[in-house]
């Protein structure tokens, strides 16, 4: 989260940014007109922005055909050349950060300063995997009994299906496209129907960076299951990488099982945010602001259950309420705005239902607690105290700017509450005790832990969860391995 002011954007600049984005299907290096289109709206006003291609199964099949046709040649391209393409794409993104950020803000709603931060973050995935492309290695060893040698090679897994969410439309694109390109894989990417423009703009940048035709293909559609199912079931597709909800992820895993397709799944979260009585409350509040308010709370890593030890709960809630209550709300293009709109009316309704459920169960609204009375899909920053563990928001992602505070007494109780969920993406721990910090971090059932920090996402670190929060890792040294097959070659000597 950032509160950096941004220059006022004019309506003309908004129109120019939207007009700069290709709106067709990107297949085999060409922009193609689709048989149908779908609308993209501005969530801060509800107004129509533009129409983009709405692919049908036949058009999507053409994209997969292009990826398959390009695979063999792309796999033979020198790692350095693949690396340099990613480096050029990264440089082009950073040089065009203002336009790319404005496109993202208009289609998704996040404040412009935060959108600029996402463009920079997204570009870092290209830089990281540009560096990884030239470091793909294997192995050599003598057989334990002698008489032969073992060679281990890493090879591209093959054509990939990449499916990205609406909440981080550019960073989730580069986090999947980057390792695919670096590993020598071709792909078809399908962005979320709510935010296709960022991905289309990204494809245009890859063209400028010199990416060969067919290596990355983009299919936008409102008919996700009808369009994606045939591609996933096609035995030529060798991997699927998906970021989104757990129910959809389970459905995709069932489809992938039909052909035993490689999978990477970054699914839902229910992050506990633990504040112990020995925590530095200034650090804890700052961490809560980052973990709760990043992307207006619309993040799988968002602090969903804020668990605070009883002796400091009242003071923590007071400080957090002051900070959240001071956040300006409005369109993401307006000066100083921190709380932008949610993605659509359905999102507002879900947040409101969860808040009303908590209030009905005895929680208190210290701040906010009801949808905003204005155009667009806004829900004000909200702080709830005394939220019972059995409230619906204790088991469902809030995905909005609502901080739900529950008190606990002992370390054992905190760990039990934190782990009482089928999800295990990320947990946060705030304490000044090194022994407690390590002890609790190790006891938490999560793929990632933020110890005295509210943001852990980094292209150089492995991102992913356990239990129903996912399969595999993105980023870090392991991220590229998700796009590589290991081949063993036995040699008689």
In this structure, the answer to whether residues 209 and 143 fall within a common structural domain is yes
pLDDT number for residue 442: 98
- Same domain? For 337 and 387 the reply is yes
Is pLDDT of 423 > 50? Answer: yes
Assess whether 149 and 189 both reside in one domain: yes
Q: Based on the fold, state whether residues 70 and 147 are members of the same structural domain.
A: yes
Q: Is residue 351 part of a domain?
A: yes
Regarding whether 437 and 293 lie in a shared domain, the answer is yes
Look at residue 464 and tell me if it is in a domain.
no
Cβ atoms 426, 447 nearer than 8 A: yes
Q: Which positions ≥6 away from 5 have C-beta within 8 Å?
A: 113, 335, 336
* Number of Cα atoms under 13 Å in the Cβ half of residue 87: 11
* Mean pLDDT, all residues of the chain: 97
Q: Does 4 have pLDDT greater than 70?
A: no
**If we measure between CA atoms, which residue out of 319, 272, 310, 273 comes closest to residue 386?**
310
CB contact at 8 A, 192 and 164:
yes
Start-to-end CA distance of the chain, whole Å, equals 59
Give the tens place of pLDDT for each residue, 322-342. Answer: 999 999 999 999 999 999 999
Report, as an integer, the average pLDDT of 148-159: 97
User: Residue 318 domain-assigned?
Assistant: yes
For the CA atoms of 437, 440, 441, 447, the dihedral, rounded to the nearest 10 degrees, stands at -160
Q: Are strands 148-156 and 484-492 parallel, antiparallel or unpaired?
A: antiparallel
CATH number at residue 249: 3.40.605.10
User: pTM for this structure?
Assistant: 0.96
In a domain, residue 364? The reply is: yes
Identify whether residues 296 and 263 lie together within a single domain: no
Residue 8's pLDDT is 82
Q: Give the pLDDT confidence of 280-289 residue by residue, as tens digits.
A: 999 999 999 9
Q: Are 276 and 394 in the same domain?
A: yes
In a domain, 359, yes or no: yes
Mean pLDDT of 477-483: 96
pLDDT for residue 1 is more than 90: no
pLDDT above 80: residue 6: no
Clarify whether residues 297 and 245 are in a common domain: no
User: Do 260 and 381 share a domain, yes or no?
Assistant: no
Answer yes or no: is pLDDT of 218 > 60. Answer: yes
**What is the structure's pLDDT at 426?**
98
Catalytic residue chosen out of the listed positions 14, 107, 132, 266? 266
CATH number, domain of 442, equals 3.40.309.10
Question: Are 54 and 132 within one domain?
Answer: yes
> Which tokens is 402 given?
């609502």
pLDDT exceeding 70 applies to what percent of the chain?
99
pLDDT band at 3; cut points 50, 70, 90:
very low
Region 54-59 average pLDDT: 98
Asked whether the beta carbons of 212 and 453 are under 8 A apart, the reply is no
Mean pLDDT to the nearest integer, 246-262: 98
261 and 286, same domain (yes or no): no
Angstrom CA distances, 73 to 67, 69, 184, 214, 261, stand at: 11, 8, 9, 10, 22
Shared domain check, 356 and 253: no
Q: Pick the closest to residue 305 from 448, 409, 419, 220 (CA basis).
A: 419
Length reported for the chain:
493
HSE value, Cβ hemisphere, 13 Å, CA-based, for 160 = 32
Kindly state whether residue 156 falls inside one of the protein's structural domains. Answer: yes
Tell me what the mean pLDDT of segment 14-21 comes to: 98
Owning domain of residue 248: 11-267+469-490
Q: Is 457 among the domain residues? A: no
Confidence of residue 2 (pLDDT cuts 50, 70, 90): very low
Domain count for the chain: 2
**Cβ-contact 21, 188 below 8 angstroms:** no
Q: What is the 3-state secondary structure (H, E, C) of the chain?
A: CCCCCCCCCCHHHHHHHHHCCCCCEEECCEEECCCCEEEEECCCCCCEEEEEECCCHHHHHHHHHHHHHHHHHHHCCCHHHHHHHHHHHHHHHHHCHHHHHHHHHHHHCCCHHHHHHHHHHHHHHHHHHHHHHCCCCCEEEECCCCCEEEEEEEEECCCEEEECCCCCCCHHHHHHHHHHHHHCCCEEEECCCCCCHHHHHHHHHHHHCCCCCCCEEECCCCCHHHHHHHHHHCCCCCEEEEECCHHHHHHHHHHHHCCCCEEEEECCCCEEEEECCCCCHHHHHHHHHHHHHHHHHCCCCCEEEEEEEHHHHHHHHHHHHHHHHCCCECCCCCCCCCECCCCCHHHHHHHHHHHHHHHHCCCEEEECCCCCCCCCCCCCCEEEECCCCCCHHHCCCCCCCEEEEEEECCHHHHHHHHHCCCEECEEEEECCCHHHHHHHHHHCCCCEEEECCCCCCCCCCCECCEECCEECCECCCCCHHHHEEEEEEEEEC
Which class for 278: exposed (0-12), middle (13-18), buried (19 or more C-beta within 10 A)? Answer: middle
Whole-number pLDDT of residue 7: 61
Could you tell me if 389 and 418 are in contact, meaning their C-beta atoms sit under 8 angstroms apart?
no
**pLDDT, tens digit, 9 for 90 and up, residues 164-194:** 999 999 999 999 999 999 999 999 999 999 9
pLDDT on residue 144: 96
Tell me if residue 81 is catalytic: no
Evaluate whether residue 5 is within a structural domain: no
For the stretch 376-418, pLDDT in tens is 999 999 999 999 999 999 999 999 999 999 999 999 999 999 9
């Amino acid at each position: 989260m950032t509160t950096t002011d941004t220059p006022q954007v004019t309506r003309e600049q908004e129109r120019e940014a939207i007009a700069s984005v290709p709106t067709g299907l990107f297949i085999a290096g060409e922009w193609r007109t689709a048989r149908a289109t779908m609308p993209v709206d501005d969530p801060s006003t509800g107004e129509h922005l533009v129409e983009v291609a709405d692919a049908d199964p036949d058009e999507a099949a053409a994209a997969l055909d292009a990826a398959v046709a390009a695979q063999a040649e792309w796999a033979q391209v020198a790692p350095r050349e693949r690396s340099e393409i990613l480096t050029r794409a990264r440089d082009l993104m950073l040089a065009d950060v203002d336009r790319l950020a404005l496109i993202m803000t208009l289609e998704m709603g996040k404040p412009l300063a935060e959108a600029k931060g996402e463009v920079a973050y997204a570009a870092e995935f290209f830089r990281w995997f540009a560096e990884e492309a030239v470091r793909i290695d294997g192995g050599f060893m003598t057989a334990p009994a002698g008489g032969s040698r073992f060679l281990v090679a890493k090879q591209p897994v093959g054509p990939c299906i990449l499916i990205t969410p609406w909440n981080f439309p550019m960073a989730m694109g580069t986090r999947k496209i980057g390792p695919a390109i670096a590993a020598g894989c071709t792909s078809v990417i399908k962005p979320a129907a709510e935010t296709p423009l960022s991905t289309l703009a990204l494809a245009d940048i890859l063209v400028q960076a010199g990416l060969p035709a067919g290596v990355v293909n983009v299919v936008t559609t409102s008919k996700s299951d009808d369009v994606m199912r045939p591609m996933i079931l096609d035995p030529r597709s060798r991997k699927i990488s998906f970021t989104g909800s757990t129910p959809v992820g389970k459905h995709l895993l069932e489809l992938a099982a039909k052909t035993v397709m490689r999978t990477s799944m970054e699914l839902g979260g229910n992050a506990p945010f633990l504040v112990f009585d020995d925590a530095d409350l200034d650090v804890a509040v700052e961490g809560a602001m980052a973990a709760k308010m990043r992307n207006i709370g619309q993040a799988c890593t968002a602090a969903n259950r804020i668990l605070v030890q009883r002796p400091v709960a009242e003071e923590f809630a007071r400080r957090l309420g002051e900070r959240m209550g001071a956040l300006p709300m409005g369109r993401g293009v307006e000066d100083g705005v921190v709380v932008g709109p949610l993605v659509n009316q359905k999102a507002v309704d879900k947040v409101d239902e969860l808040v009303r459920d908590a209030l009905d169960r005895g929680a208190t609204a210290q701040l906010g607690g009801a949808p905003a009375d204005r155009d667009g899909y806004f829900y004000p920053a909200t702080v709830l105290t005394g939220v019972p563990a059995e409230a619906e928001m204790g088991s469902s992602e809030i995905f909005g700017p609502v901080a739900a505070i529950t008190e606990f007494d002992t370390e054992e109780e905190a760990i039990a509450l934190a782990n009482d969920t089928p999800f295990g993406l990320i947990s946060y721990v705030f304490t000044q005790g090194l022994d407690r910090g390590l002890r609790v971090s190790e006891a938490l059932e999560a793929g990632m832990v933020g110890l005295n920090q509210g943001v852990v996402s980094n292209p150089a670190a492995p991102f992913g969860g356990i239990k129903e929060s996912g399969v595999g890792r993105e980023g870090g040294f392991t991220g590229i391995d998700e796009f590589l097959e290991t081949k063993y070659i036995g040699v008689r000597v």
